[in-house]
Amino acid sequence: MDAPNGGKTVANKGPSVVIRLPGVIIPLSGPAALIPLVIVLALAVALIAYVVRSATWSWLWVSGGLWILFIGYWGAAARNAATTKSSESVASRQLHQLLMYGALALAFWRAPGLGGRWLPRTIYVVAIGLILQAGSAFLAIWARRHLGRNWSGQITAKVDHQLIRTGPYRLLRHPIYTGMLGMFLGTAFVSGELHGLLALVIIAAAYWRKVRLEERHLSAVFGAEYDDYRKKSWAMIPWLL
Protein backbone atom coordinates (compact mmCIF):
# COMPACT_ATOMS: atom_id res chain seq x y z
CA MET A 1 0.00 0.00 0.00
CA ASP A 2 1.24 3.47 -0.84
CA ALA A 3 -0.32 4.82 2.32
CA PRO A 4 1.73 7.28 4.36
CA ASN A 5 2.13 5.23 7.49
CA GLY A 6 4.69 4.17 10.03
CA GLY A 7 4.89 3.11 13.63
CA LYS A 8 6.85 1.19 16.19
CA THR A 9 8.91 -1.79 15.20
CA VAL A 10 6.88 -4.99 15.28
CA ALA A 11 8.49 -8.40 15.50
CA ASN A 12 8.51 -10.04 12.09
CA LYS A 13 7.40 -13.67 12.22
CA GLY A 14 8.68 -14.31 8.73
CA PRO A 15 6.81 -14.49 5.45
CA SER A 16 3.98 -16.98 5.00
CA VAL A 17 1.93 -17.91 1.96
CA VAL A 18 -1.05 -20.19 1.39
CA ILE A 19 -1.34 -21.66 -2.11
CA ARG A 20 -4.94 -22.56 -2.94
CA LEU A 21 -5.59 -24.92 -5.83
CA PRO A 22 -8.81 -26.80 -6.68
CA GLY A 23 -9.17 -29.28 -3.83
CA VAL A 24 -5.68 -28.55 -2.44
CA ILE A 25 -4.41 -26.06 0.15
CA ILE A 26 -0.62 -25.81 0.60
CA PRO A 27 0.62 -23.64 3.51
CA LEU A 28 4.19 -22.35 3.18
CA SER A 29 6.22 -20.47 5.78
CA GLY A 30 9.77 -19.28 6.25
CA PRO A 31 12.09 -19.57 3.23
CA ALA A 32 9.56 -21.76 1.39
CA ALA A 33 7.12 -18.84 1.31
CA LEU A 34 9.48 -17.05 -1.08
CA ILE A 35 9.02 -19.73 -3.74
CA PRO A 36 5.82 -18.20 -5.21
CA LEU A 37 7.53 -14.79 -5.29
CA VAL A 38 10.50 -16.23 -7.18
CA ILE A 39 8.17 -17.96 -9.65
CA VAL A 40 6.16 -14.80 -10.29
CA LEU A 41 9.35 -12.76 -10.73
CA ALA A 42 10.76 -15.35 -13.14
CA LEU A 43 7.54 -15.32 -15.17
CA ALA A 44 7.57 -11.51 -15.27
CA VAL A 45 11.18 -11.48 -16.45
CA ALA A 46 10.43 -14.11 -19.09
CA LEU A 47 7.39 -12.18 -20.32
CA ILE A 48 9.28 -8.91 -20.60
CA ALA A 49 12.18 -10.65 -22.35
CA TYR A 50 9.80 -12.31 -24.81
CA VAL A 51 7.86 -9.21 -25.76
CA VAL A 52 10.99 -7.07 -25.97
CA ARG A 53 12.68 -9.67 -28.17
CA SER A 54 9.77 -9.48 -30.59
CA ALA A 55 10.02 -5.68 -30.71
CA THR A 56 11.83 -3.83 -33.46
CA TRP A 57 13.74 -1.28 -31.37
CA SER A 58 16.60 -2.37 -29.15
CA TRP A 59 16.01 0.57 -26.80
CA LEU A 60 13.05 -1.34 -25.40
CA TRP A 61 15.60 -3.79 -24.02
CA VAL A 62 16.95 -0.98 -21.85
CA SER A 63 13.46 -0.07 -20.65
CA GLY A 64 12.72 -3.74 -19.98
CA GLY A 65 15.97 -4.06 -18.04
CA LEU A 66 14.99 -1.13 -15.82
CA TRP A 67 11.67 -2.82 -15.13
CA ILE A 68 13.37 -6.11 -14.24
CA LEU A 69 15.72 -4.37 -11.79
CA PHE A 70 12.81 -2.48 -10.25
CA ILE A 71 10.66 -5.61 -9.87
CA GLY A 72 13.59 -7.46 -8.33
CA TYR A 73 14.17 -4.73 -5.74
CA TRP A 74 10.47 -4.47 -4.97
CA GLY A 75 10.13 -8.18 -4.40
CA ALA A 76 13.17 -8.29 -2.12
CA ALA A 77 12.01 -5.27 -0.11
CA ALA A 78 8.53 -6.76 0.37
CA ARG A 79 9.96 -9.46 2.64
CA ASN A 80 10.39 -6.90 5.45
CA ALA A 81 6.74 -5.84 5.61
CA ALA A 82 5.25 -5.48 9.09
CA THR A 83 2.23 -7.28 10.52
CA THR A 84 -1.11 -6.40 8.91
CA LYS A 85 -4.18 -5.76 11.05
CA SER A 86 -6.76 -5.48 8.25
CA SER A 87 -6.72 -5.23 4.46
CA GLU A 88 -8.81 -4.78 1.32
CA SER A 89 -10.73 -7.70 -0.14
CA VAL A 90 -8.97 -10.37 -2.18
CA ALA A 91 -11.16 -9.55 -5.19
CA SER A 92 -10.17 -5.88 -5.08
CA ARG A 93 -6.47 -6.73 -4.84
CA GLN A 94 -6.71 -9.27 -7.68
CA LEU A 95 -8.45 -6.74 -9.94
CA HIS A 96 -5.63 -4.25 -9.42
CA GLN A 97 -2.98 -6.89 -10.09
CA LEU A 98 -4.75 -8.00 -13.25
CA LEU A 99 -4.83 -4.43 -14.58
CA MET A 100 -1.20 -3.81 -13.58
CA TYR A 101 0.23 -6.99 -15.12
CA GLY A 102 -1.91 -6.57 -18.23
CA ALA A 103 -0.70 -2.99 -18.66
CA LEU A 104 2.94 -4.05 -18.17
CA ALA A 105 2.65 -6.72 -20.86
CA LEU A 106 0.90 -4.31 -23.23
CA ALA A 107 3.62 -1.71 -22.68
CA PHE A 108 6.05 -4.00 -24.56
CA TRP A 109 3.79 -6.11 -26.76
CA ARG A 110 2.82 -4.68 -30.15
CA ALA A 111 -0.76 -5.93 -30.08
CA PRO A 112 -2.59 -6.17 -33.45
CA GLY A 113 -3.78 -2.75 -34.53
CA LEU A 114 -1.68 -0.93 -31.92
CA GLY A 115 1.60 -0.69 -33.81
CA GLY A 116 1.00 2.84 -35.04
CA ARG A 117 3.11 5.64 -33.62
CA TRP A 118 1.94 8.45 -31.37
CA LEU A 119 5.44 9.94 -31.02
CA PRO A 120 8.17 10.54 -33.60
CA ARG A 121 10.95 7.93 -33.81
CA THR A 122 13.90 9.99 -32.57
CA ILE A 123 16.71 9.37 -30.10
CA TYR A 124 15.64 12.47 -28.17
CA VAL A 125 12.21 11.00 -27.43
CA VAL A 126 13.81 7.71 -26.36
CA ALA A 127 16.28 9.53 -24.09
CA ILE A 128 13.46 11.48 -22.44
CA GLY A 129 11.59 8.23 -21.88
CA LEU A 130 14.52 6.43 -20.26
CA ILE A 131 15.37 9.40 -18.04
CA LEU A 132 11.73 9.68 -17.00
CA GLN A 133 11.52 5.97 -16.27
CA ALA A 134 14.72 5.93 -14.21
CA GLY A 135 13.74 9.07 -12.28
CA SER A 136 10.28 7.68 -11.56
CA ALA A 137 11.77 4.42 -10.31
CA PHE A 138 13.99 6.43 -7.96
CA LEU A 139 10.93 8.31 -6.63
CA ALA A 140 9.06 5.06 -5.96
CA ILE A 141 12.07 3.50 -4.20
CA TRP A 142 12.65 6.66 -2.15
CA ALA A 143 9.03 6.61 -1.01
CA ARG A 144 9.18 2.86 -0.35
CA ARG A 145 12.19 3.33 1.94
CA HIS A 146 10.34 6.00 3.93
CA LEU A 147 7.52 3.52 4.55
CA GLY A 148 9.98 0.84 5.62
CA ARG A 149 8.41 -2.26 7.16
CA ASN A 150 4.97 -0.65 7.07
CA TRP A 151 4.67 -0.85 3.29
CA SER A 152 2.12 -3.22 1.76
CA GLY A 153 1.09 -4.04 -1.78
CA GLN A 154 -2.56 -3.76 -0.79
CA ILE A 155 -4.72 -1.29 1.10
CA THR A 156 -4.12 -2.23 4.74
CA ALA A 157 -4.14 -1.01 8.31
CA LYS A 158 -0.89 -1.87 10.06
CA VAL A 159 -0.29 -2.48 13.74
CA ASP A 160 0.41 0.93 15.39
CA HIS A 161 -0.60 2.64 12.15
CA GLN A 162 0.64 6.23 12.04
CA LEU A 163 0.76 8.99 9.45
CA ILE A 164 4.09 9.71 7.74
CA ARG A 165 4.74 13.10 6.15
CA THR A 166 8.48 12.94 5.49
CA GLY A 167 10.48 12.62 2.28
CA PRO A 168 8.25 12.68 -0.81
CA TYR A 169 5.21 12.43 1.48
CA ARG A 170 5.65 16.09 2.37
CA LEU A 171 4.11 16.98 -1.00
CA LEU A 172 2.53 13.78 -2.31
CA ARG A 173 0.18 11.40 -0.53
CA HIS A 174 0.86 8.56 -3.00
CA PRO A 175 4.38 9.04 -4.40
CA ILE A 176 4.82 5.33 -5.17
CA TYR A 177 1.84 5.50 -7.51
CA THR A 178 3.33 8.63 -9.07
CA GLY A 179 6.55 6.72 -9.64
CA MET A 180 4.74 3.78 -11.23
CA LEU A 181 2.81 6.06 -13.59
CA GLY A 182 6.07 7.80 -14.52
CA MET A 183 7.72 4.47 -15.32
CA PHE A 184 4.86 3.48 -17.62
CA LEU A 185 4.99 6.90 -19.27
CA GLY A 186 8.73 6.50 -19.78
CA THR A 187 8.28 3.11 -21.46
CA ALA A 188 5.52 4.59 -23.64
CA PHE A 189 7.99 7.25 -24.78
CA VAL A 190 10.64 4.63 -25.54
CA SER A 191 8.31 2.53 -27.69
CA GLY A 192 6.50 5.51 -29.18
CA GLU A 193 3.69 3.21 -30.29
CA LEU A 194 0.00 3.10 -29.45
CA HIS A 195 0.23 -0.06 -27.34
CA GLY A 196 2.48 1.77 -24.88
CA LEU A 197 0.05 4.67 -24.71
CA LEU A 198 -2.88 2.29 -24.08
CA ALA A 199 -0.89 0.60 -21.30
CA LEU A 200 -0.43 4.01 -19.68
CA VAL A 201 -4.18 4.68 -19.86
CA ILE A 202 -4.95 1.30 -18.26
CA ILE A 203 -2.50 1.73 -15.38
CA ALA A 204 -3.67 5.31 -14.80
CA ALA A 205 -7.25 4.05 -14.46
CA ALA A 206 -6.07 1.28 -12.10
CA TYR A 207 -4.26 3.70 -9.80
CA TRP A 208 -7.05 6.26 -9.94
CA ARG A 209 -9.38 3.54 -8.63
CA LYS A 210 -6.90 2.53 -5.94
CA VAL A 211 -6.27 6.11 -4.82
CA ARG A 212 -10.00 6.69 -4.32
CA LEU A 213 -10.30 3.51 -2.22
CA GLU A 214 -7.20 4.34 -0.21
CA GLU A 215 -8.21 7.95 0.43
CA ARG A 216 -11.48 6.75 1.95
CA HIS A 217 -9.64 4.14 4.01
CA LEU A 218 -7.06 6.59 5.37
CA SER A 219 -9.69 9.20 6.12
CA ALA A 220 -11.55 6.61 8.19
CA VAL A 221 -8.36 5.57 10.02
CA PHE A 222 -6.91 9.03 10.76
CA GLY A 223 -9.99 11.28 10.60
CA ALA A 224 -9.27 15.02 10.95
CA GLU A 225 -5.50 14.46 10.86
CA TYR A 226 -5.71 13.02 7.36
CA ASP A 227 -8.18 15.68 6.22
CA ASP A 228 -5.63 18.32 7.24
CA TYR A 229 -2.90 16.41 5.39
CA ARG A 230 -5.01 16.35 2.22
CA LYS A 231 -5.38 20.13 2.33
CA LYS A 232 -1.58 20.57 2.40
CA SER A 233 -0.57 17.98 -0.21
CA TRP A 234 -1.38 16.58 -3.64
CA ALA A 235 -2.51 13.03 -4.32
CA MET A 236 0.00 12.19 -7.08
CA ILE A 237 0.89 15.18 -9.29
CA PRO A 238 1.78 18.59 -7.79
CA TRP A 239 -0.56 21.44 -8.87
CA LEU A 240 -2.69 19.02 -10.92
CA LEU A 241 -3.96 16.12 -8.83
**Domains detected in the chain:** 16-231 (1.20.120.1630)
pLDDT-derived band at 37, boundaries 50, 70, 90: low
Give tens-digit pLDDT for 43-53.
Answer: 666 666 665 55
pLDDT at 14: 45
Query: How far is the C-alpha of 60 from the C-alpha of 69, rounded, in Å?
Result: 14
pLDDT at 48: 62
Query: Residues 6 or more apart from 193 whose CB is under 8 A from it?
Result: 110, 114, 115, 116, 117, 118
Lowest mean pLDDT among 12-26, 74-88, 179-193: 12-26
DSSP 8-state assignment for residue 28? E
Query: How far is the C-alpha of 100 from the C-alpha of 12, rounded, in Å?
Result: 28
- pTM greater than 0.85: no
Which of 119-140 are b and which e, b meaning 16 or more Cβ less than 10 Å from the residue's Cβ? beeeeebbebbbebbbebbebb
Query: What mean pLDDT do residues 1-10 have?
Result: 45
Give tens-digit pLDDT for 166-181.
Answer: 888 888 888 999 999 9
Query: How far is the C-alpha of 2 from the C-alpha of 13, rounded, in Å?
Result: 22
Query: How far is the C-alpha of 67 from the C-alpha of 32, rounded, in Å?
Result: 25
Query: How far is the C-alpha of 49 from the C-alpha of 64, rounded, in Å?
Result: 7
pLDDT at 71: 87
The one-letter amino acid code at 194 reads: L
Give tens-digit pLDDT for 65-112.
Answer: 899 999 888 777 766 655 555 566 777 788 888 898 899 999 998 888
Q: How many residues are listed for the chain in this entry?
A: 241
Mean pLDDT, rounded, of the chain:
76
